[in-house]
């Protein structure tokens, strides 16, 4: 979506997963980055938020 490429339902699954991650942890993922920086690392480098031990 960001790079105007075709996409699948995986985009919706990822968005839902991030929403759940935020609800469970109470944190924002990639909070040390701007929205543009976070989008870049997710799209181009496959970044994912860390799963906390607790």
pTM of the entire predicted model: 0.71
Instruction: For residue 2, name the pLDDT band (cuts at 50, 70, 90).
Output: low
| Whole-number Å distance between alpha carbons of 35 and 18 | 14
**Per-residue pLDDT at 39:** 87
Instruction: For residue 5, name the pLDDT band (cuts at 50, 70, 90).
Output: confident
Instruction: For residue 1, name the pLDDT band (cuts at 50, 70, 90).
Output: low
pLDDT single digits (tens) 16-52: 999 999 999 999 999 999 989 998 998 889 899 888 7
Q: Which residues of 36-47 are buried (b: 16+ CB within 10 A; e: fewer)?
A: eebbeebeeeeb
């Amino acid at each position: 979506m960001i790079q105007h490429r075709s996409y699948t339902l995986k985009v919706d699954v990822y968005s839902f997963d991030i929403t759940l991650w935020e609800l469970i942890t109470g944190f924002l993922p990639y909070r040390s980055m701007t929205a543009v920086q976070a989008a870049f690392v997710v799209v181009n480098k496959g970044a994912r938020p860390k799963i906390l031990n607790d």
